[in-house]
Structure 1
Amino acid sequence: MAETTELIQHIELYVDTSRSPTEQAASLNSIISLVKSDFLTIEVLVKEMRMYLTTTDNVIRARGILLLAEVLTGLASKPLDNATIHSLIGFFTDRLADWRALRGALVGCLALLRRKVNAGMVSTSDAKLVAQSYIESLQVQSLGQHDRKLCFELLECLLERHPNEIASLGETFFYGICQAMDGEKDPHCLMLTFPMVETLVRIYPDPSGSLASFCGDLFELLGSYFPIHFTHLKDEDAEVKRDDLSKALMSAFSSTPLFEPFVIPLLLEKLSSSLPLAKVDSLKYLNHCTAKYGADRMAKHAGAIWISLKDAISNSLEKPAMPFTSEPLYGLGFQENEIATEALMLLQKVTLQNEALFLSLINQDEGINIVFNSIASHEHYNNISLQGKQWLHAVGRILYIISKTSMASCNSVFESFFPRLMNTLEISVTNSSGDCTLNENSFPSKKFNFGALYLCVELIAACRDLIMRLKDLAPKPDTSQETCRYMLHMFADSLVNAFSSSLATNANEVAHGADIYFKVKGLQILATFPGDFLPISKFLFANILTILMSIILVDFNKILLWKLVLKALVHIGSFVDMYHESEKALGYMGAVVDKTVSLVSRDDFNVPFSLKLEAVSEIGASGRNHMLKIAQGMEEAIVAKLSDYVHGNLKSAEKTIQLLECYCNKILSWYAFLPECFNL
């Protein structure tokens, strides 16, 4: 056994508040080492410390109790017998009422409650006594930050390790937790309190029990923290991020469906806030809670959610920084901020959850029907007011997201809106003989209504994206009876001819970028539908490629049109290569790849040489077989140019250098990512 005088010296040094923290830590470690090495037992230590644990001197008593608690913390893996643990936990439980020595009591309770089975644990009956003493003795919000944090750690430990004992305390414990949380502002403490709500939900599963009784009071506390925001951030708070706190609060909000009557109205109210942060958080929380609460509970909020989402989408579009001069990511080139993005994600989630209800709301929405009724006046992009473009964009994005949600949603949207768009565009159904019936003079730009064009392309794109997603999930989804398939099959030939004819007309006129873009995109999408869903005839597919390639070969001076068409051809090439559409692949090789190869091998095209090389490298990158053909053509062209140079044609030197640079930088670098092409 350790010398008593040595032990007393260590104890006195620790409780002496005039000593430095370093000296006190050294004394603590020495005592822990003595116990670990069995030179000192816990029983002897407690006996020698009795005066320090019971003295009426508040400072010495507080330091003595803290010393014993810290020693036990350092002995977490040291086996202790049940009698010793029972005695120690009883001592610290009693000291929870001693507010002058509270820190030591909290640390001691935590040290014992956290022990593992193989080292000896606190009994369930003793844990229940700790919980009762906690509720009866502690006024958490009257304590300093560090002690409050210890209080919440103790609560967390009791809830996680002894849930049955806590559950048996019923409403008394609920009241104690609410009282402890009420008014808490410290980020570290909140990171402990928010997850406790989820634990409470687990240990009180009865929807008509204690949880239901205190649900309103509990959420009143939680709701006061939404949305999370930091003020007067301290250095010690830097490790707690706002995003972490927000996620913890969101999990608490969604922890039980019993919160639904309180959560959803609060989130919808905050969604109308002028603060962007509150809007974004409201949408994120709604998205998360929707799945947790279930379709039945969310149904009653459908109307309010739809109105809020429609407003969020249409009012969160930022005016484009510059005119529509290049390919947008989507829509009409408006910049969709985080609010609009989150709103669209939520719209897809709630529609999938309650399809019939939300589709009915959308189909009957007055604002959407006003847009459809007014698109007849939207002949050109330039003729539409900024507000008109904003609403048109919003409706397009809404219908795209809804249609892409599921086949049932796609069918409903097509049935409600597609025939109206075809009527505005003056596009008729393909007749029984397979030919297209087109109204005379329907397709010059002055007749091709832009508003209907945009919405039509958005619907077709959504249907196409949905089909490709379903094919990835199931290689052969049964779509034979789908309404959207039937409608597209009826109008596909007419649409191809309409887009082709109008695009050919625009190639000879000055047209706005948006008008051009959606006509090119329309052709691209129709060409990349899987053949088993929308069988475009071999003739029509060839017609699409011919129209697009004619622009590559002739309209190179119209840079926007030329680049849009090149991108469309690359997309089509990637599609036929990836999905092994054999008939389309054969047509693409002849109409596009062979023509592109001829651009560099022959000089009978007026296309600038730099654009030829751009077309060659982009088309080649659309597929392995395409690149093999392009590479072969490039090699032959390089040999031919070198031969011309050797025979005295000095003008071929510059083109030879450009060919070599393109071959090395584009062709060979593409191969570097496909070693199988070299049989490596």
Structure 2
Amino acid sequence: MGGTPTIQYVIHIESYVSSSSSEAQQAASVDAIAVLLKNDLLSLETLVREMEMYLTTTDNIIRSRGILLLGELLMRLMSKPLNDTAISSLIEFFTERLADWKALHGALVGCLALLRRNTGTGMINRSQAKAVAESYLKTLQVQSLGQQDRKLCLQILECLLDRYRDALFALGDDLVYGICEAIDGEKDPQCLMLIFHIVELLAQLFPEASGPLENFAGDLFEILECYFPIHFTHPKSDDVDMKRGELSRALMLAFASTPLYEPSVIPLLLDKLSSSLPSAKVESLKYLSYCTLKYGEGRMEKYTKSLWSALKDALFTCPQSTLSEDSDPIDGLGFHESEIMTQALELLQVLVRQHNDSFLSLILGDGDISTFLNSFSQFDDFNSLSTQYKQRLHAVGHVLSVCIKASGSSCNKVFESFFPRLVDALRLSVENSHGIVHSALDANFNFGALYLCVELLAACRQLVVSSDEVASAHDLACDSWCQILRSFCTSLCNVFFCLIRASCVESTWNAYVYAAVKGLEILATFPGSFISVSKLMYENILLTLTSIIESDFNKKFLWKAALKALAESSLFVNKYHEDEKAASFNSIVKRKIVSLISSDDLNMPQSLKLEAIFDIGLTGKSFMYSVVSELEKTISANLSEILVHGDRRLAGLTPGLLECYSNKVLPWFHGNGGADEVSLSFAINIFTKMENNSSLSLEAKGKVFCSMSRNIWLSSDFPISSMRNVL
């Protein structure tokens, strides 16, 4: 549009206020005027003077469009400095227009734009903010407005509470009452997000136990409680879950914003735990965890018995989804954690830490848990255990684990109460089987005691290695649980060895195998200052697990568990610098695992050999360099043997090694500083030997060539000249 800036902005004003203009034309007019103002081609004072007739006319439509235009322009000029005089005139104008309900939308936009301005660009002062709030409370009936205007009203409230608290404090009861009126009955999700945050900010404005908020706490909570749990009956978009989650968290923050809500919140959440809807249970548990922390020990003490009763019901009766026999081990019982159990355990952790002695006493003295533990001897045979019994065992194990991980003192109490009799039950099982457990004798072996022993071992190890407790490692090492564990360490190892030997001879239940291997892994990875197993016992553990990798690859569950245990052991010796254990690990595991690369044993599938090598190798650089060196030597020797003698057996195995080198070794180099010159030369030699090797199929050559070329470029600054040689 041609003409001088003056002519341009007048034309744009007229276009915007014209009822015949489309939304696109109006937006273009606002943008055009905003550019003139930002570039100082037009002053705000000149603009307002030119617009005076549109801002004050008795024509409701034109006046509302004029006021909205000015408000929209201020939204676009948030970062443009304005002097105090301009700010004062503008905020006074828009504050007065809050009473002009036919032009209200523009007034709300203008007020919000001015309230959001920052220091340095010109912002309203305390008295002006108070005037906006007073006009708002006096003139606006928020819930009678449309969604867009309600949202603007709530955004203004949010902004006032967030940025102008000093100005609002003196309004006291009038402010709280006005907010109650403004938010009561809201249903729009976007507006609800604002409402929940407003309630949270209001609690920050009046944090005192007695004051304006106390007078209306019941009214505010009555407004809030109808939204719990958040539930959408008419989804409007694909991201409903995300919005539900955001709304739920905002409501939770509002619930926990002040202890004044505690007498209403906790009973509501406890009541909702009995709901038949799993989502309501999950939300209740999540809110209870958060509110418990916020309200504090003093206020929550009176609820401990009710909370433990509700938690027991949630933990012991909630269904767990089961895994198939082919699935990787999760917990030895074949359960995935349900969301209810996950949230219940989080709440339990909060309560045990907050009310350490009193809540722990409830658990240790619980009759249902004691009765269950005393029933072990009646249900020894894993095959005879009902799903309900397994779920109860699963839940009890998790409850005791949470207690152990809470602190050294709670760990002492759990171990003193349960651990000796659990180990005695295991030793009795082995003695009854004369030191050998066969599948036919499973009924003599106490699986419940085995499962809980391993769960308690895992929990106290987690206590040791957790960041908070490592700082007081010396004190922990002197605790009674540590003394108890040391006294039983050898017995436990022998029980676990016994179970693994049985599983290698006959097919036994995966749950026994998982627990035994996990038990050995835990005992092998305790830091030395706690319950370090003897050097001989540690090496026996490594030999047993390595033997499984070499010989029991046809037992998938056992093999996977042993591989995971060895990888964890490797990570442990590297992380905690256990030099003696590292030496044993290298001499036993490293030597045997690396030798699998060049092994002539064709019984073990090559894919499993490579899986074992790399799962453990990737846990430490020195181990991985040994793997790379042996792999390169084996590939080079194989290619030479194929080229000279045409060995078909090696011709079938070597492509797998080449693919492994390309897809695992070279990317590993890429993540660890790039390949060295020796490895790059080796890669070039491979291409040369493959090119001249007629025993390798064209398909194998092409596959390896493409993969290796790509990964060489990724793993190093490969010289262009070298790549030309390869090509």
Structure 1: distance between partners of 2:644 and 2:511: 49
Q: What number of residue pairs does the alignment pair up?
A: 669
Change beyond 3 A, Cα 1:161–1:541: closer
Cα offset, 1:27, TM superposition: 5.7
The alignment partner of 1:426 has SS state of helix
Q: 1:615-640 CA distances to partner (integer Å, 9 max, x unpaired)? A: 44545445444445555555666677
How many angstroms apart in 2 are the aligned matches of 1:11 and 1:402? Answer: 70
Structure 1 gap segments, 5+ residues each: 429-436
1:225 shift after superposition: 1.5
Q: What amino acid sits opposite 2:224 in the alignment?
A: L
Separation (CA, whole Å) in 1 of partners of 2:10 and 2:503: 97
Corresponding residue of 1:488: 485
In the alignment, structure 1 residue 522 sits paired with structure 2 residue 519: yes
Structure 1 residues 514 and 662 mapped into 2: Cα distance closer, same or farther (>3 Å)?
A: farther
Structure 2 counterpart of 1:569, from 566, 586, 590 = 566
Which deviations, in whole Å up to 9, do the C-alpha atoms of 1:440-492 show, x marking residues without a partner? 82552533311110111111111122212248853954323212111110000
**Per-residue deviation at 1:119?**
5.2
Instruction: Name which of 157, 173, 189 aligns with 2:159.
Output: 157
Worse-superposed segment, 369-378 or 38-47 = 38-47
Pairing of 1:97-108 with structure 2 (within 5 A):
97-108=99-110
Quick check: 2:79–2:121 contact (8 Å CA) kept in 1? Answer: yes
Q: Residues of 1 paired with 2:21 and 2:602: CA distance?
A: 92
Mapped to 1, the partners of 2:28 and 2:594 lie a distance apart of: 80
Q: 1:626 to 1:67 in 2, by over 3 A?
A: closer
Q: Distance in 2 between matches of 1:245 and 1:334?
A: 31
Residues in 1 aligned to 2:65 and 2:354: alpha-carbon distance in whole angstroms: 59
Q: Where do 1:590-605 residues align within 5 Å?
A: 590-597=587-594
Matched, 1:501 2:498: yes
Instruction: Decide whether aligned partners of structure 1 residues 552 and 113 sit closer, same or farther in structure 2, where only a CA change above 3 A counts.
Output: closer
The answer to whether the 8 A contact 1:621-1:670 is kept is no
Flag structure 2 segments of 5+ consecutive residues without an equivalent: 678-715, 717-727
Asked whether the 8 Å contact 1:96–1:134 carries over to 2, the reply is yes
Say whether the 8 Å CA contact 2:397–2:452 is kept in structure 1. yes
Q: Distance in 1 between matches of 2:35 and 2:544?
A: 86
Pair 607,44 (structure 1): closer, same or farther in 2 beyond 3 Å: closer
Matched with 2:426 is 425
Contact 1:93 1:129 in 2 (8 A): yes
**Within 1, Cα distance between the matches of 2:60 and 2:451?**
79
The residue matched to 1:128 in structure 2 has which SS? helix
Contact in 2 for aligned 1:368/1:395 (Cα 8 Å): yes
TM-score after normalising by structure 2: 0.81
1:129 corresponds, among 115, 122, 131, to: 131
The corresponding residue for 1:462 is 459
5 Å-filtered alignment, 1:202-217, equals 202-217=204-219
Give, in angstroms, the shift of residue 648 of structure 1: 6.1
Displacement after TM superposition at 1:602 (Å): 6.3
> Which residue of the partner structure matches residue 529 of structure 2?
532
Counterpart residue number, 2:346: 345
Aligned equivalent of 2:359:
358
**What does residue 311 of structure 1 align with?**
313
What is the alpha-carbon distance in structure 2 between the residues aligned to residue 236 and residue 376 of structure 1?
A: 52
Equivalent residue for 1:182? 184
Instruction: Using the TM superposition, name which of 64-73 and 169-178 deviates more.
Output: 64-73
**By how many angstroms is 1:518 displaced?**
1.0
Q: Is contact 1:634–1:659 with CA below 8 Å preserved after alignment?
A: no
Distance 1:82 1:371, change over 3 A: same
Match of 2:434 among 430, 433, 441: 441
Q: Secondary structure at the match of 1:479?
A: helix
* 1:121-161 Cα deviation digits (max 9, x unpaired): 44433432332222122111111112212211222233234
* C-alpha spacing 1:624/1:439, structure 2 compared with 1 (3 Å): farther
Residue of structure 1 in register with 2:145 after alignment: 143
Distance in 2 (CA, whole Å) between partners of 1:642 and 1:87 is 87
Residue 224 of structure 1 and its aligned partner are, at CA, apart by 1.7
RMSD across aligned C-alpha pairs, in angstroms? Answer: 3.8
Contact 1:317 1:336 in 2 (8 A): no
Question: For residues 640 and 78 of structure 2, what CA distance do their matches in structure 1 show?
Answer: 84
Q: 1:150 & 1:413 partners in 2: Cα distance?
A: 56
8 Å CA contact 1:638, 1:659 repeated in 2: no
**Structure 2 residue matching 1:657: 3-state secondary structure:** helix
Give the alignment partner of residue 246 of structure 2, picking from 244, 247, 266: 244
Structure 2 partner of 1:547:
544
CA distance 1:259–1:606, shift in 2 (3 Å): same
Counterparts of 1:224-373 in structure 2, within 5 Å, are 224-234=226-236, 241-323=243-325, 325-373=326-374
Contact 2:87 2:124 in 1 (8 A): yes
Q: SS of the counterpart of 1:317? A: coil
Aligned to 1:17, what secondary structure does the other structure show? coil
The offset of 1:191, in angstroms, is: 2.3
Give the conservation status (yes or no) of the 8 Å contact 1:65–1:101: yes
Aligned mates of 2:635, 2:121 — CA distance in 1:
79
Aligned partners of 1:188 and 1:240 also within 8 Å: no
* More off after superposition, 93-102 vs 521-530: 93-102
What is the percent sequence identity of the aligned residues? 49
Change (3 A) 1:677 1:180: same
Report the TM-score, using the length of structure 1 for normalisation: 0.86
Please tell me the residue identity of whatever aligns with 1:248.
Answer: A
Partners in 2 of 1:666 and 1:440 — Cα distance?
48
**Alpha-carbon distance between aligned partners in 2 of 1:244 and 1:42, rounded to the nearest angstrom:** 42
- Structure 1: which amino acid aligns with 2:342? T
Query: CA contact under 8 A between 2:638 and 2:654: conserved in structure 1?
Result: no
What is the rounded CA distance, in whole Å, between the counterparts of 1:54 and 1:128 in structure 2?
Answer: 28
